[in-house]
Amino acid sequence: MDFQILLNNLTNPSLLFFVLGILAVKLKSDLEIPATSAKFIALYLMISIGFKGGQELSHSAFSTTILWSLGFGVFLSAAIPFYTFFLLKRKLGVPNAAAISAAYGSISAVTFVAAAAFLEVQGVTFGGYMVAVMALMEAPAIISGMILLRKFTPSKTEGGFKQMIIHAFTNGSVLLILGSLVIGLIADEKQAEGIKPFVTDIFKGFLAVFLLDMGISSGRKLKAFFKTGYFSSLFAILVPLVNGVVVAYVSQWISPEVGDRLIFAILAASASYIAVPAAMKLSNPEADEGLYVPMALAVTFPFNLTLGMPIYWMIIQAT
């Protein structure tokens, strides 16, 4: 059954569209997504992720566990980029280090879905507020990445640390995710139902087109990924493994529910290939998406599905 979960996710149409984009480049096809359309889709995805997270949060009765869970998720997202950045900076340069560290501080919604399917097979439930935790973990990582980018790029550090923080929070991508989450939180249920076809029903279709565009972009720049040799692949396996194992153990003091703990572990171990690439495309164009997207999608994603999730689950059951 675990193999079936793996097979279902590896044959996910969105993932296959990413592969199609790379294949199109290798075949020297003229397939291309217009830049304006790609930018619109990136903005749409951030609206949808934020709004749905806010809606889930609005449907949850607040408790100490929920507050601790939200705070823990935000802490993980903000903190992970700060240690991963320094592992990457010397080898890959500041723009790439900022983008990759933000990606690994953020999360993969598809991996979240895979973890939910894994728990369903085990007959274990998790709190609905974990969707809000997932949404909240997008923005802090982007903010941390932007702070690190401005701090270590001389031309972008004018004005001091206070200006860096202001710029990070007012960055269009961050503002859109957080703003959408707040809107989803305060929106009347009937009014939210009216926007549901836009933020939910067509999400997977737009995600497929976005990943097709990312596949094309990545395919054109895969040389950057291969030039790093084993470094990128090892990072894309070892860092998620460390994050997932540590959080699988530590999360016992955040939530007593084993389902919530697996979700925490998989969120900490996953890497964003939707929100962060969309944000970096707008805010850090110097970063090479042919490097950080394949790391997140081609290495970390399948690792978590095949080996990571069973390891985290075993640790959770043992503690």
Name the residue with tokens 């001091």.
160
Q: What is the pLDDT of residue 224?
A: 63
Query: Which residue segment(s) compose the domain that 208 sits in?
Result: 35-318
For residue 30, being part of any structural domain is answered with no
Q: Is residue 20 part of a domain?
A: no
Q: What was the pLDDT predicted at 161?
A: 54
Least Cα distance to 57 among 139, 137, 128, 106 occurs for 128
Whether residue 49 is contained in a domain is answered as: yes
The model's pLDDT over 130-186, given as tens digits with 9 standing for 90+, comes to 888 888 888 899 889 988 988 888 665 445 556 656 666 676 777 888 888 889 889
Number of folded domains in the chain?
Answer: 1
pLDDT of residue 167: 62
pLDDT in tens, 226-238: 777 788 889 999 9
DSSP 59: T
Residues 290-318 have a mean pLDDT of: 86
312 vs 132, higher pLDDT: 312
| In a domain? residue 212 | yes
Whether 270 and 204 have beta carbons less than 8 Å apart is answered as no
Residue 255 belongs to domain with CATH number: 1.20.1530
CB atoms within 10 A of CB 200: 13
- Residue 40 forms part of a structural domain: yes
User: Where is pLDDT greater, at 172 or 55?
Assistant: 55
Q: Model confidence over 85-97: pLDDT tens digits?
A: 999 998 899 999 9
User: Are the C-beta atoms of 150 and 169 separated by less than 8 Å?
Assistant: no
User: Is residue 57 within 8 Å of 187, Cβ to Cβ?
Assistant: no
Q: Could you tell me the pTM of the whole model? A: 0.76
Phi, psi of 229 (to 5 degrees): 65, -135
Domain assignment present for 2:
no
Structure tokens that stand for 55 in this block: 């809606």
186 token code pair:
């305060």
Q: Is residue 269 part of a domain?
A: yes
DSSP assignment letter at 295: I
The reply to whether 6 falls in a domain is no
Q: How far is C-alpha 83 from the chain's CA centre?
A: 17
